[in-house]
Protein backbone atom coordinates (compact mmCIF):
# COMPACT_ATOMS: atom_id res chain seq x y z
CA UNK A 1 0.00 0.00 0.00
CA UNK A 2 2.81 2.37 0.88
CA UNK A 3 4.47 1.53 -2.46
CA UNK A 4 1.26 2.43 -4.33
CA UNK A 5 0.99 5.69 -2.41
CA UNK A 6 4.56 6.54 -3.40
CA UNK A 7 3.75 5.82 -7.06
CA UNK A 8 0.62 8.02 -6.90
CA UNK A 9 2.54 10.80 -5.17
CA UNK A 10 5.30 10.60 -7.77
CA UNK A 11 2.73 10.74 -10.54
CA UNK A 12 1.09 13.81 -9.04
CA UNK A 13 4.48 15.47 -8.69
CA UNK A 14 5.26 14.84 -12.35
CA UNK A 15 1.87 16.20 -13.38
CA UNK A 16 2.38 19.34 -11.30
CA UNK A 17 5.84 19.87 -12.75
CA UNK A 18 4.52 19.32 -16.27
CA UNK A 19 1.71 21.80 -15.69
CA UNK A 20 4.13 24.36 -14.31
CA UNK A 21 6.45 23.96 -17.27
CA UNK A 22 3.66 24.05 -19.84
CA UNK A 23 2.15 27.23 -18.37
CA UNK A 24 5.40 29.10 -18.90
CA UNK A 25 6.94 27.25 -21.83
CA UNK A 26 5.48 29.60 -24.43
CA UNK A 27 8.19 32.07 -23.44
CA UNK A 28 10.82 29.82 -24.96
CA UNK A 29 8.70 27.89 -27.43
CA UNK A 30 8.64 30.52 -30.15
CA UNK A 31 11.26 32.68 -31.81
CA UNK A 32 9.77 35.62 -33.72
CA UNK A 33 10.74 36.34 -37.33
CA UNK A 34 13.19 39.14 -38.02
CA UNK A 35 11.60 42.51 -38.74
CA UNK A 36 12.70 46.10 -39.25
CA UNK A 37 13.05 47.95 -35.93
CA UNK A 38 10.66 50.86 -36.35
CA UNK A 39 11.35 51.92 -32.77
CA UNK A 40 14.89 52.84 -33.83
CA UNK A 41 13.57 55.37 -36.35
CA UNK A 42 12.24 57.89 -33.83
CA UNK A 43 13.60 59.82 -30.87
CA UNK A 44 12.53 59.18 -27.30
CA UNK A 45 10.54 61.93 -25.62
CA UNK A 46 10.84 63.23 -22.08
CA UNK A 47 7.95 61.97 -19.98
CA UNK A 48 8.39 64.93 -17.67
CA UNK A 49 7.98 67.39 -20.56
CA UNK A 50 5.48 65.60 -22.79
CA UNK A 51 3.12 64.04 -20.22
CA UNK A 52 1.12 65.24 -17.24
CA UNK A 53 -0.54 63.31 -14.41
CA UNK A 54 -3.86 61.77 -15.43
CA UNK A 55 -4.72 60.28 -12.02
CA UNK A 56 -3.01 58.76 -8.96
CA UNK A 57 -0.24 61.33 -8.68
CA UNK A 58 1.00 59.87 -5.40
CA UNK A 59 1.55 56.53 -7.16
CA UNK A 60 3.52 58.09 -10.03
CA UNK A 61 7.29 58.41 -9.83
CA UNK A 62 9.45 59.98 -12.56
CA UNK A 63 12.96 58.53 -12.86
CA UNK A 64 16.18 59.14 -14.81
CA UNK A 65 15.62 62.88 -15.17
CA UNK A 66 12.07 62.34 -16.36
CA UNK A 67 12.91 59.91 -19.16
CA UNK A 68 11.12 57.00 -17.48
CA UNK A 69 8.33 56.51 -14.96
CA UNK A 70 7.07 53.94 -12.48
CA UNK A 71 3.30 53.74 -12.10
CA UNK A 72 1.82 51.83 -9.18
CA UNK A 73 -1.51 50.25 -8.28
CA UNK A 74 -2.37 49.72 -4.62
CA UNK A 75 -5.54 49.65 -2.53
CA UNK A 76 -5.79 53.41 -2.58
CA UNK A 77 -5.51 54.00 -6.32
CA UNK A 78 -4.04 53.17 -9.67
CA UNK A 79 -2.09 55.77 -11.61
CA UNK A 80 -1.73 57.18 -15.08
CA UNK A 81 -0.13 59.71 -17.41
CA UNK A 82 -1.64 61.62 -20.34
CA UNK A 83 0.14 63.37 -23.19
CA UNK A 84 0.07 67.15 -23.20
CA UNK A 85 -0.71 67.14 -26.93
CA UNK A 86 -3.49 65.51 -28.91
CA UNK A 87 -2.73 63.78 -32.19
CA UNK A 88 -4.49 63.15 -35.49
CA UNK A 89 -2.13 60.35 -36.53
CA UNK A 90 1.31 59.06 -35.69
CA UNK A 91 3.69 56.43 -34.33
CA UNK A 92 3.42 55.81 -30.60
CA UNK A 93 5.59 53.45 -28.59
CA UNK A 94 6.69 52.60 -25.07
CA UNK A 95 9.14 50.14 -23.54
CA UNK A 96 7.18 48.53 -20.71
CA UNK A 97 8.26 46.21 -17.89
CA UNK A 98 5.27 44.62 -16.18
CA UNK A 99 4.80 43.79 -12.48
CA UNK A 100 6.15 40.38 -11.48
CA UNK A 101 4.28 37.77 -9.47
CA UNK A 102 0.56 37.04 -9.39
CA UNK A 103 -1.39 39.98 -10.79
CA UNK A 104 -4.89 38.83 -11.86
CA UNK A 105 -7.23 41.73 -12.49
CA UNK A 106 -4.37 44.20 -12.99
CA UNK A 107 -4.53 46.12 -16.29
CA UNK A 108 -1.61 48.03 -17.75
CA UNK A 109 -2.70 50.17 -20.68
CA UNK A 110 -0.94 52.18 -23.38
CA UNK A 111 -3.61 53.72 -25.55
CA UNK A 112 -5.06 56.63 -27.52
CA UNK A 113 -8.46 58.05 -26.62
CA UNK A 114 -10.67 61.12 -26.95
CA UNK A 115 -13.33 60.08 -24.42
CA UNK A 116 -12.72 63.35 -22.57
CA UNK A 117 -14.00 65.38 -25.53
CA UNK A 118 -16.40 62.84 -27.04
CA UNK A 119 -17.97 60.88 -24.16
CA UNK A 120 -20.80 59.47 -26.28
CA UNK A 121 -19.02 58.81 -29.57
CA UNK A 122 -15.38 58.51 -28.66
CA UNK A 123 -12.52 56.87 -30.54
CA UNK A 124 -9.91 54.65 -28.91
CA UNK A 125 -6.93 52.53 -29.92
CA UNK A 126 -5.84 50.24 -27.08
CA UNK A 127 -2.90 48.14 -26.03
CA UNK A 128 -3.95 46.50 -22.77
CA UNK A 129 -1.84 44.03 -20.83
CA UNK A 130 -3.92 41.75 -18.62
CA UNK A 131 -2.48 40.40 -15.38
CA UNK A 132 -0.88 37.03 -14.68
CA UNK A 133 -2.80 34.41 -12.68
CA UNK A 134 -2.11 30.82 -11.59
CA UNK A 135 -3.30 29.47 -14.96
CA UNK A 136 -1.94 31.85 -17.55
CA UNK A 137 0.78 34.44 -17.98
CA UNK A 138 0.21 38.08 -18.90
CA UNK A 139 -1.89 38.48 -22.05
CA UNK A 140 -2.02 41.24 -24.64
CA UNK A 141 -5.39 42.66 -25.65
CA UNK A 142 -5.70 45.04 -28.60
CA UNK A 143 -8.84 47.02 -29.21
CA UNK A 144 -10.32 49.63 -31.54
CA UNK A 145 -13.33 51.87 -30.88
CA UNK A 146 -14.73 54.39 -33.34
CA UNK A 147 -17.65 56.73 -32.78
CA UNK A 148 -19.16 54.61 -30.08
CA UNK A 149 -19.41 53.22 -26.59
CA UNK A 150 -17.43 50.37 -25.06
CA UNK A 151 -20.01 47.98 -26.54
CA UNK A 152 -18.55 48.59 -30.01
CA UNK A 153 -15.05 47.40 -29.14
CA UNK A 154 -13.17 45.10 -31.49
CA UNK A 155 -10.89 43.04 -29.29
CA UNK A 156 -8.18 40.56 -30.20
CA UNK A 157 -6.07 38.78 -27.58
CA UNK A 158 -2.60 37.29 -27.77
CA UNK A 159 -0.12 35.40 -25.67
CA UNK A 160 3.42 36.78 -25.54
CA UNK A 161 6.52 34.83 -26.56
CA UNK A 162 8.58 36.23 -23.67
CA UNK A 163 8.25 36.94 -19.96
CA UNK A 164 7.19 40.63 -19.91
CA UNK A 165 8.18 41.02 -16.24
CA UNK A 166 11.90 40.31 -16.69
CA UNK A 167 12.83 43.35 -18.77
CA UNK A 168 11.36 46.12 -20.91
CA UNK A 169 9.70 45.24 -24.21
CA UNK A 170 8.39 47.60 -26.88
CA UNK A 171 4.65 47.98 -27.48
CA UNK A 172 3.79 50.24 -30.41
CA UNK A 173 0.90 51.65 -32.43
CA UNK A 174 0.91 52.97 -35.99
CA UNK A 175 -2.17 55.08 -36.71
CA UNK A 176 -2.50 56.89 -40.02
CA UNK A 177 -4.91 57.35 -42.91
CA UNK A 178 -4.07 53.86 -44.24
CA UNK A 179 -4.30 51.53 -41.26
CA UNK A 180 -3.80 50.91 -37.57
CA UNK A 181 -1.03 48.45 -36.71
CA UNK A 182 -0.26 47.00 -33.28
CA UNK A 183 3.33 45.85 -32.74
CA UNK A 184 5.20 44.03 -29.98
CA UNK A 185 8.97 44.32 -30.10
CA UNK A 186 8.45 45.65 -33.64
CA UNK A 187 6.58 42.48 -34.71
CA UNK A 188 3.14 43.41 -36.12
CA UNK A 189 0.45 41.34 -34.42
CA UNK A 190 -2.62 43.05 -35.85
CA UNK A 191 -3.56 45.34 -38.73
CA UNK A 192 -6.87 47.23 -38.87
CA UNK A 193 -7.35 48.71 -42.32
CA UNK A 194 -9.00 52.03 -43.13
CA UNK A 195 -11.62 51.34 -45.75
CA UNK A 196 -14.00 53.70 -47.56
CA UNK A 197 -16.56 50.88 -47.39
CA UNK A 198 -16.99 51.28 -43.63
CA UNK A 199 -15.40 54.60 -42.59
CA UNK A 200 -17.49 54.92 -39.42
CA UNK A 201 -15.57 52.08 -37.70
CA UNK A 202 -12.20 53.80 -38.12
CA UNK A 203 -10.91 56.26 -35.47
CA UNK A 204 -10.57 59.69 -37.04
CA UNK A 205 -10.83 62.36 -34.33
CA UNK A 206 -7.80 63.77 -32.46
CA UNK A 207 -6.73 61.68 -29.47
CA UNK A 208 -4.46 61.92 -26.44
CA UNK A 209 -1.97 59.21 -25.51
CA UNK A 210 -2.29 57.52 -22.11
CA UNK A 211 -0.14 55.22 -19.97
CA UNK A 212 -1.96 53.70 -16.98
CA UNK A 213 -2.21 50.89 -14.45
CA UNK A 214 -5.58 50.19 -12.85
CA UNK A 215 -7.92 47.63 -11.27
CA UNK A 216 -9.83 45.71 -13.94
CA UNK A 217 -11.19 43.06 -11.57
CA UNK A 218 -14.68 43.18 -13.05
CA UNK A 219 -13.60 41.94 -16.47
CA UNK A 220 -9.86 41.56 -17.03
CA UNK A 221 -8.99 38.01 -15.97
CA UNK A 222 -11.30 35.30 -17.31
CA UNK A 223 -14.24 37.70 -17.40
CA UNK A 224 -13.66 38.92 -13.84
CA UNK A 225 -13.28 35.48 -12.29
CA UNK A 226 -10.00 36.43 -10.61
CA UNK A 227 -9.96 39.91 -8.99
CA UNK A 228 -6.91 41.87 -7.90
CA UNK A 229 -5.38 40.43 -4.73
CA UNK A 230 -3.94 43.41 -2.87
CA UNK A 231 -1.92 41.11 -0.67
CA UNK A 232 0.64 41.32 -3.49
CA UNK A 233 0.41 45.12 -3.86
CA UNK A 234 1.85 47.46 -4.83
CA UNK A 235 1.89 46.43 -8.49
CA UNK A 236 4.50 48.58 -10.23
CA UNK A 237 4.91 48.99 -13.98
CA UNK A 238 7.84 50.76 -15.61
CA UNK A 239 7.46 52.92 -18.73
CA UNK A 240 10.56 54.01 -20.65
CA UNK A 241 11.73 54.92 -24.17
CA UNK A 242 8.46 56.68 -24.91
CA UNK A 243 7.97 57.76 -28.53
CA UNK A 244 5.30 60.09 -29.92
CA UNK A 245 5.80 61.23 -33.50
CA UNK A 246 2.94 62.42 -35.62
CA UNK A 247 0.38 65.04 -36.46
CA UNK A 248 -0.26 67.25 -33.44
CA UNK A 249 -3.77 68.64 -33.19
CA UNK A 250 -3.85 72.44 -33.24
CA UNK A 251 -7.18 73.85 -32.12
CA UNK A 252 -6.52 77.16 -33.88
CA UNK A 253 -5.78 75.55 -37.27
CA UNK A 254 -8.72 74.91 -39.57
CA UNK A 255 -6.90 72.43 -41.79
CA UNK A 256 -4.00 70.21 -40.77
CA UNK A 257 -0.85 70.27 -42.90
CA UNK A 258 1.19 67.72 -40.99
CA UNK A 259 2.44 65.78 -44.01
CA UNK A 260 3.64 68.90 -45.80
CA UNK A 261 5.33 70.14 -42.64
CA UNK A 262 7.27 66.90 -42.27
CA UNK A 263 8.22 65.55 -45.70
CA UNK A 264 10.56 62.90 -44.28
CA UNK A 265 10.29 59.43 -45.79
CA UNK A 266 9.78 58.24 -42.22
CA UNK A 267 6.72 60.44 -41.71
CA UNK A 268 4.26 58.23 -39.81
CA UNK A 269 1.31 60.22 -41.15
CA UNK A 270 1.63 59.37 -44.83
CA UNK A 271 5.17 58.16 -45.44
CA UNK A 272 5.55 55.17 -47.79
CA UNK A 273 7.17 53.04 -45.07
CA UNK A 274 3.98 53.30 -43.06
CA UNK A 275 1.33 53.09 -45.77
CA UNK A 276 1.42 49.29 -45.86
CA UNK A 277 3.20 46.38 -44.26
CA UNK A 278 6.30 45.10 -46.00
CA UNK A 279 6.49 41.46 -47.03
CA UNK A 280 8.74 40.83 -44.01
CA UNK A 281 6.24 42.46 -41.67
CA UNK A 282 3.30 40.57 -43.21
CA UNK A 283 5.09 37.25 -42.71
CA UNK A 284 5.81 38.19 -39.09
CA UNK A 285 2.20 39.18 -38.46
CA UNK A 286 0.95 35.91 -39.93
CA UNK A 287 3.33 34.08 -37.58
CA UNK A 288 2.05 36.00 -34.54
CA UNK A 289 -1.59 35.45 -35.37
CA UNK A 290 -1.17 31.72 -36.05
CA UNK A 291 0.96 31.01 -33.01
CA UNK A 292 -0.21 33.47 -30.36
CA UNK A 293 -3.71 34.83 -30.98
CA UNK A 294 -6.35 33.11 -28.84
CA UNK A 295 -9.37 35.41 -29.30
CA UNK A 296 -10.76 37.55 -32.12
CA UNK A 297 -14.05 39.42 -32.11
CA UNK A 298 -14.47 38.36 -35.73
CA UNK A 299 -15.08 34.80 -34.55
CA UNK A 300 -17.32 35.67 -31.59
CA UNK A 301 -20.80 34.75 -32.82
CA UNK A 302 -22.30 35.01 -29.33
CA UNK A 303 -21.47 38.71 -29.34
CA UNK A 304 -21.81 39.64 -33.00
CA UNK A 305 -24.77 37.92 -34.65
CA UNK A 306 -23.81 39.53 -37.92
CA UNK A 307 -20.12 39.51 -38.78
CA UNK A 308 -18.66 43.04 -38.56
CA UNK A 309 -18.05 44.40 -42.07
CA UNK A 310 -14.26 44.64 -41.75
CA UNK A 311 -14.04 40.96 -40.82
CA UNK A 312 -15.36 39.95 -44.24
Residues with catalytic function: 124, 128
- The SS3 call for residue 121 is coil
Which residues lie closer than 8 Å to 146 by C-beta, 6 or more apart?
Answer: 123, 152, 200, 201, 202, 203, 204
3-state percent breakdown (helix, strand, coil) of the chain, nearest 5: 25, 35, 40
Which residues lie closer than 8 Å to 121 by C-beta, 6 or more apart?
Answer: 147, 148
Q: Are 184 and 101 a contacting pair, CB within 8 Å?
A: no
Rounded to whole angstroms, what are the CA distances from 177 to 91, 103, 180, 204? Answer: 12, 37, 8, 8
SS3 assignment for 78-109: CEEEEEEEEEEEEEEEEEEECCCCCCCCEEEE
Beta bridge partners of 126: 111, 143
Q: Are 111 and 129 a contacting pair, CB within 8 Å?
A: no
Which residues lie closer than 8 Å to 232 by C-beta, 6 or more apart?
Answer: 101, 102, 103
SS3 assignment for 218-277: CCCCCCCCCCCCHHHCCEEEEEEEEEEEEEECCCCCCCCCHHHHCCCCCCCCCCHHHCCC
Q: Nearest 10 degrees: CA dihedral of 57, 59, 60, 62?
A: 130
d(Cα 255, Cα 107) in Å, to the nearest integer? 37
Amino acid sequence: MAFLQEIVALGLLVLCMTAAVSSHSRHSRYTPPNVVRLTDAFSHVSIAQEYSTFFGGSNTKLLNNGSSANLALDKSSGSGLVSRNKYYYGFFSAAIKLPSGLSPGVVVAFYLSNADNYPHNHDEIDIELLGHDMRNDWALQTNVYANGSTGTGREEKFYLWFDPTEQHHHYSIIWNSHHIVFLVDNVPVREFAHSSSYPSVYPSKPMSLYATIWDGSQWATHGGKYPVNYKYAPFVVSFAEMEMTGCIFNQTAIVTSCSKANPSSLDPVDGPEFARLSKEQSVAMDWARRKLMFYSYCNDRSRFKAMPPECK
